[in-house]
Structure 1
Amino acid sequence: MRCLTLADALKAHGADCHFISREHPGHLLQVISQRGYKVNSLVAPVQPAQAAIKNIVNEAPSPQQEPVHTAWLGSSWQTDAQETAAILTSLQPDWLVVDHYALDQRWEEALAPHYRQLLVIDDLADRPHRCDLLLDQNLGSQPEHYAPLVPAHCQVLAGPHYALLRPEFAALRPYSLQRRQRQPTLRHLLITMGGVDQPNATGQVLQALKTCALPADCRITVVMGLTAPWLQNVRELAAQMPWPTEVVVNVNDMAQRMADSDLAIGAAGSTSWERCCLGLPTLMVVLADNQKEAAAHLQKNGAANCLEFSGLLHKNLHDQVQGLIDQPQRLNQTSTSASVITDGLGVERMVATMAISLNKSI
């Protein structure tokens, strides 16, 4: 989704953008295509190796070289490089943008003959890269974290100042911040635990809210993906809630829904920067280990209160919500702290940086 946001911004400046993706279960190739982009699917048999990577394809990497998330690729990096090279040979893009935790310097060097410059999107700082530009939009990230992992000439853009948010978030920021200057209330809760929500965190959140003394006129909105495995279960729970609870899927107006909400209960991840842009107070549920560091920084900065997804989620969530009901001024305090994290204009900064790096206008 963040790559789609970047592609939209580049396209608005006249760039021609293509996508390369493997058809993993739950892939979004159709969504990308519907947005008007050419999608190159990595499902065909491996093409003959390009000359530039012939000597690398049969290399047997040592185990310690493998990125932690290697299994997420769905193939060996050599196979993926072969298939990608077959597509890039005809495209020869000015920029290749790589957003995948399983790819590292070996893959990037293998494809070097097929692009002018390389942008890597990362937030783990756990493997070397051969790139010209690197983006880590997490709070607490610093360029020096990547100093031993990238070439000396690489420019590292770090922090939510560069977060890739769709333009509607920056557009709605003044409205959202202004409405929160009024007397704080807890009338509209937004629950967003990710489009798939494999562990059914949404269901646990709804069960915990049942025990809270929410205002009688409160309403709850739950946002999920159409293919979420627990969708029907969540709909059944929603029908049993003491307050009007709406379950919506595949929404295209998330910025407006966030701006109109008083509190979000949501997963950590890139959605965090959307909530910060709009000053939306958040109870954040950490669902994966690679979310812990960014979540800790958000809590340290007063931009969110974080909860571990564990057996204690029910009680901890109840206590946090009850605390906001008893002390509603905390909503304004969290909103103010969140709003200074990012202004939502990061994607324009990224496009400008890419244009300057190519020494031409995009």
Structure 2
Amino acid sequence: MLIVFRADADPATGGGHVMRCLTLATEMQQRGADVLFVCAPGTADTVPALTHCGIRWLEADQHDWNTDLADGGLAGTRIDLIVIDSYRLGEAFERSLRRHGCPILVIDDAPVRPHDCDLLVDTTLGRNADDYAGLIPQHCRVIAGSPYALLRSAFGELRAVSLARRRATFEPASIYVSLGLTDVGGQTADIARYLANAGTYSRIIVVIGPTASSLDEVVALGEESTRVQVHVDPPEIAELMANADIAIGTPGTSSWERCCLGLPSIQLVVADNQRENARALEQAGAARIVPPGCDVPDTIARILAELARQPDELARMSRQAAKVCDGAGAQRVGEAIDALVQQERTGQLTLRRATADDARRLWFWRNDPGARAMSGDSRAVPWDAHSKWFNNRIADANTLIFIIQAEGRPCGNVRFHIELTGTAGVSIAMARNVRGRGYGATALVLACQEAFGRGFCERIEARVKRENLASQKIFLKAGFVLAGQEAEFLVYQLSLRAASEGNN
């Protein structure tokens, strides 16, 4: 399944459109889809993550599309879904893409303009489908509200830890400051300087993008003050937020990240489209809003002083913020996309050898929290380390990696590696969205039959954690027998002879 995303970023509009599309793209890659971005020139300069994430992207032409998708190198490639996230590209552009014969998903946050789409996603707090009445085709499904906020998985993983440290009243010591990667309005330096001079907070965490006009000034401030820690487009934003006591930000895409972690915030409106969201967050008790036209540093100082005198209020704001968003929005939108694109599911599984193009799929499946918890090593694997490992493995004659496909779409992998003469260790990982469908045992049987049929090994062995009851059932159902026990693991084996007898 190929999904094409159309989104742009620049210093004036910021990187929110591209960042939330990257989040959704990652969710769909975990679900086995191939993804491709089409972006205006300069987008990668504003959002370096577009280049670093390894997702293929093409530069948009004068028609806001790319000729490779029509009559170039990708001509004839079936597109299964087009996702558009842009205030500039509207109904006429969406209608022009109908020539590709696939559904169209639009991400928007203001029901003020018409769309020609089949699925519309609006993650604004309090939004509902009725707000788009008369603006979309009758058949279009609308999924709306903050439960669908598109957040990277790191936020959901850190949610419990972040909320736990905020349950008790406390005196705030660290403050997180970020007005977006491009610092629209250029107020980050003034705010950070004011906080540093005030001396109230021991740690001022400033996050900014590499193309922000105020970058040099912010970096210089970090060099002047030991209180100020400057992070330029850091990958660990979720960790930085989780360890802060209060935030200063904007009511844009990042507001959902703060809410997921229960991080109380003071918010500045830097774009007209943020006003409605700001009001909703304030009414929900999740944030305090800086009124337009005021002295920003002075107003922020006043609000911080009020909160310092009311430590219980910070805890209350944290609880209210956590109610807004739980971090599972991308999964919910992914389910809606599957329902739209895959109308029928037969459950038929097939097998193919892994190729270099599968590297990121295996990385996502390996780093899924559920998979890590049951792995011998529960630590997340960095992309660079995984990429090197994967390239070595697919070139290794002693390793055999199969991709499991459901209805032709990748949904898991089975890996064999010769550890002893004639014996191969086996591991299996299934995508989060297909767990519980009974695919695991069937996939394992298919892969073992293929490994034996290729003469790759004469015996297959699996080491399964004692607490991993689901995997134990899968191996037993696939014909493995318990052959030994270790301190933390149970050892299961399947021989070529037993597999052959089981098939007769």
Fold in common (TM above 0.5)? yes
Match of 1:91 in 2: 77
Cα separation, partners in 2 of 1:339 and 1:292, compared to 1, 3 Å: same
In the alignment, structure 1 residue 205 sits paired with structure 2 residue 191: yes
Deviation at 1:221, TM superposition (A): 0.9
Letter in 1 for 2:42: H
In the alignment, structure 1 residue 39 sits paired with structure 2 residue 92: no
Deviation at 1:285, TM superposition (A): 1.0
The count of aligned residue pairs is 325
- Identity, % of aligned positions: 35
Letter in 1 for 2:21: C
Kindly indicate whether the alpha-carbon contact (under 8 Å) linking 2:105 and 2:117 is maintained by their aligned counterparts in 1.
yes
Match of 2:300 in 1: 317
In the alignment, structure 1 residue 342 sits paired with structure 2 residue 334: no
Match of 1:164 in 2: 150
Deviation at 1:29, TM superposition (A): 7.4
Correspondence list, 1:1-362, <5 A: 1-24=19-42, 27=45, 31-43=49-61, 79-80=63-64, 83=67, 85-86=70-71, 89-210=75-196, 212=198, 214=200, 218-241=202-225, 244-308=227-291, 310-358=293-341, 359-360=343-344
Cα separation, partners in 2 of 1:344 and 1:82, compared to 1, 3 Å: closer
Letter in 1 for 2:245: D
Kindly indicate whether the alpha-carbon contact (under 8 Å) linking 1:120 and 1:134 is maintained by their aligned counterparts in 2.
yes
User: 2:145 & 2:87 partners in 1: Cα distance?
Assistant: 18
Kindly indicate whether the alpha-carbon contact (under 8 Å) linking 1:287 and 1:309 is maintained by their aligned counterparts in 2.
no
Cα separation, partners in 2 of 1:29 and 1:222, compared to 1, 3 Å: closer
Deviation at 1:311, TM superposition (A): 4.2
User: 1:138 & 1:335 partners in 2: Cα distance?
Assistant: 19
Deviation at 1:260, TM superposition (A): 0.8
Kindly indicate whether the alpha-carbon contact (under 8 Å) linking 2:175 and 2:203 is maintained by their aligned counterparts in 1.
yes
Deviation at 1:199, TM superposition (A): 2.4
Kindly indicate whether the alpha-carbon contact (under 8 Å) linking 2:45 and 2:211 is maintained by their aligned counterparts in 1.
no
User: 2:66 & 2:214 partners in 1: Cα distance?
Assistant: 37
SS at match of 1:293: helix
Deviation at 1:115, TM superposition (A): 3.7
Kindly indicate whether the alpha-carbon contact (under 8 Å) linking 2:38 and 2:65 is maintained by their aligned counterparts in 1.
no
Unpaired runs of at least 5, structure 1: 44-74
Cα separation, partners in 2 of 1:82 and 1:175, compared to 1, 3 Å: closer
User: 1:142 & 1:27 partners in 2: Cα distance?
Assistant: 35
User: 1:189 & 1:121 partners in 2: Cα distance?
Assistant: 31
User: 1:29 & 1:268 partners in 2: Cα distance?
Assistant: 19
**Which of the pair has more CA radius of gyration?**
2
SS at match of 1:356: helix
**Runs of 4+ that moved beyond 6 A:** none
Kindly indicate whether the alpha-carbon contact (under 8 Å) linking 1:302 and 1:334 is maintained by their aligned counterparts in 2.
yes
User: 1:343 & 1:34 partners in 2: Cα distance?
Assistant: 27
Kindly indicate whether the alpha-carbon contact (under 8 Å) linking 1:96 and 1:117 is maintained by their aligned counterparts in 2.
yes
User: 2:30 & 2:265 partners in 1: Cα distance?
Assistant: 32
CA deviation profile, 1:162-217 (whole Å, cap 9, x unmatched): 011001111111000001012322111111111111422112212432564615xx
Deviation at 1:31, TM superposition (A): 3.4
Kindly indicate whether the alpha-carbon contact (under 8 Å) linking 2:40 and 2:64 is maintained by their aligned counterparts in 1.
no
User: 1:30 & 1:322 partners in 2: Cα distance?
Assistant: 36
Match of 1:65 in 2: none
The answer to which structure, 1 or 2, has the higher relative contact order (CA under 8 A, 6+ apart) is 1
Deviation at 1:119, TM superposition (A): 0.4
Cα separation, partners in 2 of 1:14 and 1:23, compared to 1, 3 Å: same
User: 1:107 & 1:290 partners in 2: Cα distance?
Assistant: 21
